[in-house]
Amino acid sequence: MGKLVTIYGGSGFVGRYIARRMAKDGWRVRVAVRRPNDALFVRPYGVPGQVEPVLCNIRDDASVRAVMTGADAVINCVGILNRSGKNTFDSVQAQGAARVARIATELAVPHLVQMSAIGADPASDSEYARSKAEGEAAVLAAYPTAVILRPSVIFGTEDQFFNRFAGMSTLSPVLPVVGADTRFQPVYVDDVAQAAVLAANGQAAPGVYELGGPDVASFRELMQKMLAVVQRRRLIVNVPFFVARLMGGAFDLLQTLTVGLFENKTLTRDQVRNLARDNVVADGAMGFAQLGITPTSIDSVLPEYLWRYRPSGQYAAIKNSAKNLKKA
């Protein structure tokens, strides 16, 4: 356990998979988070003392520097889907990324990996996409040899995509979606983690990599796949964008009026803007092929964690088998 990696946001959905892989490879891992006590679950990823959650606020120079000191690699996974209080898109995804890169340069950290997203665009009308692009530009300006990873929508056991809609399917005969024809290229979370580990080990050339899985499908098609796995028949209804904008605006206003007591985790205006654009790997972009990684398909993973949303849960296969016996 000679080398040390600092993972900002290392207890998040992607960060925990990276931390697990780094620990398995023998690295000492600092998991930099705002609430270390909520991240104690990362400790068993390694031997005692190998993986430790540490206090850090990415908006503060001293905090970022303290947890980075002595690191051989830095991976920044911090990102937000909705602004809340002082954690705005600009302060977290633009300024936060810039701060990590600047301090990594000052401390002469050998390798820096920045987690971004497909769709990052400085000219976008989406604050999320624009701040991601500004963060990328700031990282490359301060640390030109950084590796930037841009995944499409990420799926896996703890995801907030398929799990969210599978949960909705257990409550209603109708499944509303915004942007039913928008195309996605879902990528498995552990494939993204593998790419980050390669970059942290210096096994990836500097630059921007767009990460998408082997399947490209519309939002509606992805929901159909999900419904087939959870063995439920639901009517998929496309919510028109003008209606979605009104809904997102209402939820955003409610969050503002309640001073954050209500946190809009349902639908924001910014999310509606992003849902109007395809989220797939651009032609000619570097990706998994250049990293030597074969991406995992949706069909091979979804049944492993969505089974709990089936009408009979873990007993679905047994019940189906019993029905066949009765017919015989």
Cα(39)–Cα(42) distance, rounded to whole angstroms? 6
The pLDDT of residue 61 is above 60: yes
* DSSP symbols for 143-202: -TT-EEEEE-SEESTT-SSHHHHHHHHTT-SEEEEE-TT-EE--EEHHHHHHHHHHHHTT
The pLDDT of residue 188 is above 70: yes
Indicate whether 245 belongs to any domain.
Answer: no
The pLDDT of residue 265 is above 80: yes
What is the count of structural domains for the chain? 1
Query: What is the arithmetic mean of pLDDT over 31-36?
Result: 97
The pLDDT of residue 328 is above 70: no
Indicate whether 235 belongs to any domain.
Answer: no
Count of beta carbons in the 10 Å neighbourhood of residue 109: 22
Query: What is the arithmetic mean of pLDDT over 289-314?
Result: 96
The domain spanning residue 52 has which CATH number?
Answer: 3.40.50.720
Cα(235)–Cα(223) distance, rounded to whole angstroms? 10
pTM listed for this prediction: 0.95
**Mean pLDDT over the full length of the chain:** 96
Q: Any idea what the Cα angle at residue 256 is, between residues 250 and 258, rounded to 5°?
A: 100
Percent pLDDT > 90 in the chain is: 92
Indicate whether 62 belongs to any domain.
Answer: yes
Tokens 């946190």 locate to 263
Query: What is the arithmetic mean of pLDDT over 205-212?
Result: 98
Tell me the per-residue pLDDT of 94-115, one tens digit each, with 9 for 90 and over: 999 999 999 999 999 999 999 9
Query: What is the arithmetic mean of pLDDT over 54-73?
Result: 98
The pLDDT of residue 242 is above 70: yes
Q: Using 50, 70 and 90 to split pLDDT, how confident is the model at 319?
A: confident
Indicate whether 247 belongs to any domain.
Answer: no
Q: Using 50, 70 and 90 to split pLDDT, how confident is the model at 1?
A: low
Tell me the per-residue pLDDT of 109-150, one tens digit each, with 9 for 90 and over: 999 999 999 999 999 999 999 999 999 999 999 999 999 999
Q: Which DSSP category does 93 fall into?
A: I
Q: Any idea what the Cα angle at residue 13 is, between residues 126 and 208, rounded to 5°?
A: 55
Positive or negative CA dihedral for 256, 258, 260, 263?
A: negative
Domain hosting 192: range is: 4-155+186-212+279-295
What is the per-residue pLDDT for 112?
98
> 309-318 in b/e burial notation, b at 16+ Cβ within 10 A?
bbeeeeeeee
* DSSP symbols for 189-232: HHHHHHHHHHHHTT-S-SEEEEE--S--EEHHHHHHHHHHHHT-
Report whether 82 contacts 207 (CB < 8 A): no
Indicate whether 132 belongs to any domain.
Answer: yes
Indicate whether 85 belongs to any domain.
Answer: yes
Indicate whether 239 belongs to any domain.
Answer: no
What is the per-residue pLDDT for 128?
97
The pLDDT of residue 198 is above 80: yes
Cα(314)–Cα(264) distance, rounded to whole angstroms? 32
Indicate whether 269 belongs to any domain.
Answer: no
Q: Using 50, 70 and 90 to split pLDDT, how confident is the model at 326?
A: low
